[in-house]
Homo-oligomer: A and B are copies of this chain.
Amino acid sequence: METVFINGLGLIGATMARIIKASNPTVTILATDFNQENLDYMVDAGVVTTVTDFTTGASQADLIILATPVSAIRESLNDLATMALKPGVLVTDVGSSKESILAAAQPLMAAGVHFLGGHPMAGSHLTGSANGRLDLLANHSFFLINGNATPTQIKAYQDLLGAGQLHFSELTASQHDQLVSATSHLPHAVAFALANAILPKIKAMDIDPGIPAGGLLDTTRIAKADPDMWTAIFTSERADLLEQIDGFQDQLDRLRTAIANEDQASIHTQVQAANQARRELEQPR
């Protein structure tokens, strides 16, 4: 994996480039991005070796990383399936919808190209190359969802990301999508709805609301996430997410009913369970 092509130098693409360069300083990193600022930034930073177009970069690479929004990843997989690529090339991605991406990778794999899905479970409300960091993904999960990559290729890719201090876990696409839907997409949907519910209430009161409480800020922090990215995720991950939203609404309805009925025993049981659940959620595994 001496030549790496990264399509997309947003927050994650730029971070991946930094990790790869730190792991292997002699690697050649080719990259493209629709945003010239990102390209300039990463070349100036000495991380990206050469700016190319998609076809040139893909055809010269031993490793192709698709780091665009999910819909563009699917299109790129379609395009790659018809292109002449280097023998033994590994194609991978960093998108959040693994079933749809693995499905889109079928023609590529049918053409004999190796594909390994990837998904780093960290991010930021900040976007763009300038916010990429070598340690952005450190001590976070990096899910691997294999298509048809060989164990040797998977090992080589993990080694190339060694400087990122990632926590790799292998899952099936279905397992990944259910897990991420519950632990990431649902909390985002809830945070968006919460921010949209609360601000108008405060504004309507026309008072000094004081300094926002830490709980309010924490609970809604991820509502600052990128609207383009989350529109793409919510559109491509509908089935799992709708199920998760329904499950959450059932829980909230149950709590609402207990409150409406002044059922103190039920409220206490539910809050106690939530307390315990939250402590289990934060346990390192």
Report the minimum CB–CB distance from A210 to chain B (whole Å).
3
Given A201-B182, A212-B281, A268-B231, A238 contacting B260 (CB threshold 8 A): yes
Q: CB of A56 within 8 A of chain B? A: no
Q: Chain A: interface secondary structure?
A: helix
Report the minimum CB–CB distance from A271 to chain B (whole Å).
4
Q: Closest residue of chain B to A221, judged by CB? A: B218
Q: Which 9 residue pairs are nearest across A and B when measured between Cβ atoms?
A: A141-B210, A192-B274, A199-B277, A193-B252, A223-B278, A193-B251, A195-B277, A215-B222, A182-B201
Given A242-B260, A259-B242, A207 contacting B179 (CB threshold 8 A): yes
Q: CB of A115 within 8 A of chain B? A: no
On A, residues with C-beta under 8 Å from B are: 121-122, 139-141, 143, 167, 169, 171, 175, 178-179, 182-184, 186-199, 201-202, 205, 207-228, 230-231, 234-235, 238, 241-242, 244-245, 247-252, 254-256, 258-260, 262, 264, 267-268, 270-275, 277-282, 284-285
Q: What CA separation (Å) do A186 and B86 show in the bound complex? A: 55
Q: What CA separation (Å) do A21 and B97 show in the bound complex? A: 56
Count copies of this chain in the complex. Answer: 2
Q: Closest residue of chain B to A167, judged by CB? A: B211
Given A196-B273, A220-B278, A175 contacting B205 (CB threshold 8 A): yes
Tell which of B143, B199, B273 touches A281, judged by Cβ atoms closer than 8 Å: B199
Report the minimum CB–CB distance from A25 to chain B (whole Å).
28
Q: What CA separation (Å) do A216 and B244 show in the bound complex? A: 14
Q: Closest residue of chain B to A207, judged by CB? A: B175
Q: Closest residue of chain B to A214, judged by CB? A: B122
